Amino acid sequence: MILKFSFDYNSNNNTLLYFLQNIVSKTKLENKIIRQKDIVLYVEGNEEELISFSDELSATLPMSIFLKNNTAEVVPEIPQIDSIKVNVDNKFAFCPSCLKQIEDDNSQDFYNPFISCSVCGTTCDVKSLILLKENEEIDYNSNKQLFEKLATLINEDKKVKIKTNSGEFVFKKLSKTEKKVKLLCTNLVNISKVLVANKKEIVALASLEKPSLDLRVNEVFKMTNTLSQEYVNVRYVDDLILYLLSKELENYNIDFLIYNKDEDYDYELTYKGDSKNLDSIKIKIVEDNTIILNSNSYDKSLDTIYSKFEDKAKAHFMVFLQEYNFYNKNIINFYSSTKCNDNICLYSKDVEGFLDIVSYKLPKSIKQIFDILQKDETSNRLLNNYKEKYPDIYENALNCDISMLKDKNIYSLWKIVAVVLGFSSKIEDENIVLNKAIESLLEKGPRIDYKLKDSDKIFNKEFLIHKLFQSGMSFKLAGVDDNTLCLGYIESFAHYIAKLVDDVHSEVPLDGISLTGDIFTYDLISKLVHKSITKNFKIYYNKDFVIQK
């Protein structure tokens, strides 16, 4: 009997292969690991042996932010292909096999954070932990007693500096603070006491990669006035020292710790030897997709590809094509950024190159926009009505200096919109239109014009900037409130993307859509884009590479 295990693994790294390789090395059953579209493991044995192996695989294989799905089926034979062998340079926090050893009170490694593990490949020559107070070493009888004491100290509001695999940090109990803080969740079961997190986000926090996410503070916890920030960066314990501490903190109902690098402390927990220097990955979950915001764990050859293009939009697109090996596909890429020039670009297998669909320009001044509106009878009448009803806003906009805006992107145009429509008196560092849209309580806003100049060509289309302002002024004159109007700008941006996809697809049949650039890390924007694009089109994000470099 042969079982075929298939793993939908959305990464080009070898981590999953490495774990499978180490797990099957412990069995005498015939097996083979191959990488095709999916990663596939074949194992041959009788029914009892395969059930036992399946149970062991399920218990030992760690969750990963890149593992989307896995299936098992009976097949007639194992293909005659060489089994793959890999090595990895990545260092891991811990795996289920590690936890099984340190939580077994009959094991010689009970509460030992410095174990060696044959599954995740970690080795360690550190012998013991050192607890210090004012550089004086404190004795303890066992690791269990040590972690019990640490938990007691933290419960008593003591600050403890701890050497971890991610660096040295000062940890303290979550308490009222006006500062912007980062949180370590020590008990994911109770994460909803403080933060709003869905199941996928909780699973991601507990995954092998131990990423951090920005999560919103829940409404009930806000009422305690403990945290002053709307969103908090949070991660789960990424170190066996922290994991063992978390088990003892449960006795005090402590589920979160504040941590940072630069702060005075009362006690220090350290050890002799180097830490692993784990990569601190930051991610975001968008419509079931894992978007990488910060990471050093991708294949560095992608940096070489990225560096070949001065245009960041093209650089990101080329990396995306490489990650998926989509050189024989037709892909449209929307690159929209808060800090670089936007671009909408088509890669076609037929021309084996890029076709710019839309790029953006910035007006030299708001007066230039008003001058364009004055050339048309209808828009001139609108402008005069706007000037009459909102004379202060009009004069302020006319005299506003927008020269500090250098990036030719939608984000910059929204900043100008904020001034023209009176949401702000000057060009702000933050994006008022986007912020107000996020604050809007409605589900829909008015339809704002994101128009392109009529052309028989599908490429190098001209974006009609003045239409973006004309429609907004019209709705403001009609009495639409600011937040709803701003929602209209964001929602209509999503509709604009969807229409472009349909228009290009009618000329060049598309195999997929890629979204790059940090605009798509905003929940509101990404959700509206996914909602607007018809379900027939597959939407892709980078695999391992960051969405905005």
- pLDDT tens figures, 64-122: 999 999 999 999 999 999 999 998 877 888 999 999 999 999 988 999 999 889 999 87
Q: Where are the alpha helices (DSSP H) in 1-159?
A: 15-24, 47-60, 96-103, 143-155
- pLDDT tens digits, one per residue of 490-539: 999 999 999 999 999 999 999 999 999 999 999 999 999 999 998 789 99
C-alpha 355 chain-centroid distance: 28
Separation of alpha carbons 222 and 236, rounded Å: 21
For residue 110, give the 3-state DSSP assignment: coil
pLDDT of residue 463: 96
Cβ neighbors of 340 (< 8 A, separation 6 or more) are: 312, 313, 407, 409, 517
Separation of alpha carbons 91 and 89, rounded Å: 7
pLDDT of residue 87: 86
User: Residue 127: pLDDT above 80?
Assistant: no
Show the tokens assigned to 155.
């419960």
Written as one letter, the residue type at 304 is: T
Residue ranges, CATH 1.10.357, the chain: 361-507
Show the tokens assigned to 379.
């828009």
Separation of alpha carbons 327 and 516, rounded Å: 17
Show the tokens assigned to 192.
């909803």
* Contact between residue 175 and residue 226 where contact means Cβ atoms under 8 Å apart: yes
Find the length of the chain. Answer: 549
The structure tokens 């230039």 sit at 368
User: Looking at the DSSP assignment, which residues form a beta bridge with residue 290?
Assistant: 285
What is the CATH number that goes with domain 2-75?
Answer: 3.30.70.100
For residue 187, give the 3-state DSSP assignment: coil
Q: What is the pTM of this model?
A: 0.92
Mean pLDDT of 305-321: 96
pLDDT of residue 487: 98
CA distances from 16 to 26, 82, 189, 428, 453 (A): 16, 18, 26, 45, 49
pLDDT of residue 123: 74
Separation of alpha carbons 21 and 34, rounded Å: 11
Q: Which regions of 266-420 does DSSP assign to beta strands (E)? A: 267-270, 282-286, 289-294, 331-335, 343-348, 353-359
Separation of alpha carbons 266 and 136, rounded Å: 12
Separation of alpha carbons 203 and 210, rounded Å: 10
Number of H helices, E strands in the chain: 17, 21
User: Looking at the DSSP assignment, which residues form a beta bridge with residue 216?
Assistant: 196, 231
Q: Does domain 96-270 have CATH number 1.10.287?
A: no
- pLDDT tens digits, one per residue of 209-232: 999 999 999 999 999 999 999 999
Separation of alpha carbons 427 and 429, rounded Å: 7
For residue 37, give the 3-state DSSP assignment: coil
* Contact between residue 438 and residue 526 where contact means Cβ atoms under 8 Å apart: no
User: Residue 260: pLDDT above 90?
Assistant: yes
Pairing of strands 130-133, 182-185: unpaired
Alpha-carbon Rg for the chain, nearest whole angstrom, is 28
CA distances from 430 to 427, 435, 436 (A): 9, 8, 11
CA angle 194, 198, 204 (to 5 degrees): 100
Separation of alpha carbons 464 and 484, rounded Å: 23
43: part of which helix (H) or strand (E)?
Answer: strand 39-44
Separation of alpha carbons 529 and 547, rounded Å: 16
483: part of which helix (H) or strand (E)?
Answer: helix 482-507
Residue ranges, CATH 3.30.70.100, the chain: 2-75
Cβ neighbors of 206 (< 8 A, separation 6 or more) are: 63, 188, 236
Pairing of strands 256-260, 136-138: unpaired
C-alpha 160 chain-centroid distance: 30
pLDDT of residue 288: 84
The proportion of the chain whose per-residue pLDDT surpasses 70, expressed as a percent, equals 100
User: Residue 135: pLDDT above 80?
Assistant: yes
Written as one letter, the residue type at 37 is: K
pLDDT of residue 29: 96
* Contact between residue 172 and residue 249 where contact means Cβ atoms under 8 Å apart: no
Residue ranges, CATH 3.90.870, the chain: 96-270
Q: Does domain 361-507 have CATH number 1.10.357?
A: yes
Pairing of strands 267-270, 160-164: parallel
Separation of alpha carbons 548 and 542, rounded Å: 10
CA distances from 479 to 185, 382, 475 (A): 45, 14, 7
Q: Poorest-confidence range of 105-119, 245-259, 419-433, 460-474?
A: 105-119
Residue 274 pLDDT class (50, 70, 90 cuts): confident
